[in-house]
Structure 1
Amino acid sequence: MRPALSPRCGSFWASEPETKCESSVADLASSYIVLKDKRVLTPSALEVSMIYSRSAEYAIRAFVQLASVPEGKYAMVKQIAEQADIPAHFLAKILQQLARKGFLRSSKGPTGGFSLRIPPGELNLLAIVDAVDGLADFERCPAGMAVCNDDAPCGMHDNWKALRNRIMEYLERTTILDLAKGFELKRKNLERMQKKAGKRSAKSEKA
């Protein structure tokens, strides 16, 4: 069984995995990216997830799983749903929608399913969120005002604008490949730590 970790449990810079806060492994898909110096960055897991829908979150998590599907092969909805911890019937509708929009290839039959049409390194999160949700929520006033801009701001405008820009930049620069690499790195680190913990436990029992 793969180890589990919630991205919201980690620190801003997480060079080592947190072991005291566990959740679904699939949760990793929405927040971890790997930088050139091998650090794992979780800049805005909570901030980012607050602005897009559960459907967009599921799409991102499913795409991370699809990033590992070999060229010319397909993954079945049931398989993706189990790996990403997503309701299969809900996921099927999301993937069909994204296939119609050109993000995925689909194939029918016993060996059919879905695969990425766009290379994971060229597919950023903003494109997925836009395809599933649209970007209207990014422009909406957080205080509900009909008119809210730099010339006529609400009390939340300046802070929200800075946060919104940060989230937009994160979604635009982060690709599915970034998430897949971060997911795999964190999983391997956790497996290594759990193996070490198991060996220490075995030695203690023998002593």
Structure 2
Amino acid sequence: MLSKACVYGLRSSLFLASCKGDGYTSIREMSDQLDISFHFLTKILQELTGAGLMESHKGPKGGVRLTKAGSEVSLYEIVAAIDGTELFTECALGLPGCGVKKPCPLHDKWAGTRDGIRQMLEDTNLLELAEKGKKQNLRITEDGGFEWI
């Protein structure tokens, strides 16, 4: 449902929300900690920077950081910045014009699910997930080796 880039965008945003202070975090450090290709992560972070969700700084103490507090960034904003909003408006079968007047066979079931997913993403912020991750020692890497910083 979400692209790999979007999943990595969510994980990297969560990583930043869990960092102490408001300094910049090295993209190389994030890449290593999250086990994401440096070049792929850089492209994803450029998209999030372009959407105004992150800002970057070059140099030895450079990197990226969130432009707002984690409590002010919803998961929906990240998904929309990377994958767009079509997931929340288009037909699950890809049929043009699908809607209440001309529904596809899956329309009624998909519309409710789609709206529920959108609502969950809008209602969930990065800080909420970062705090839950710290409290319950949850992982955001494949091997579980992520340490909350």
Q: TM-score range by the shorter chain?
A: 0.7 to 0.9
2:100 to 144, 150, 160: 150
State the match for 2:144 in structure 1.
Answer: none
Q: Which has the higher contact order (CA 8 A, sep 6+)?
A: 2
The CA deviation string for residues 32-87 of structure 1, in whole angstroms up to 9 with x for no partner, is xxxxxxxxxxxxxxxxxx2x211111111001111133434111111112222222
Task: For residue 169 of structure 1, report the CA deviation from its aligned partner.
Answer: 0.5
Percent identity between the aligned chains? 37
1:134 corresponds, among 78, 84, 88, to 84
8 Å Cα contact 2:76-2:121 kept in structure 1: yes
Residue number among 92, 95, 101 corresponding to 2:42 in the alignment: 92
Q: How does 1:151-166 map to 2 (within 5 A)?
A: 151-166=101-116
Equivalent position SS for 1:67: helix
The structure 1 segments of at least 4 consecutive aligned residues displaced by more than 6 Å after TM superposition are: none
Kept in 1, the 8 Å contact 2:57–2:64? The answer is yes
Q: How many residues align?
A: 138
Q: Which runs of no fewer than 5 residues in structure 2 stay unpaired? A: 139-149
The SS at the match of 2:137 is: helix
For the 8 Å contact 1:124–1:172, the answer to whether it is kept is: yes
Over aligned residues, Cα RMSD in angstroms? 1.5
Q: What is the distance in 2 between the residues matched to 1:161 and 1:68?
A: 33
- The unaligned stretches of length 5 or more in structure 1 are 1-49, 189-207
Question: Structure 1 148/88 Cα, relative in aligned 2: closer, same or farther at 3 Å?
Answer: same
Query: Which entry has the higher C-alpha Rg, 1 or 2?
Result: 1
Give the TM-score normalised by structure 2: 0.85
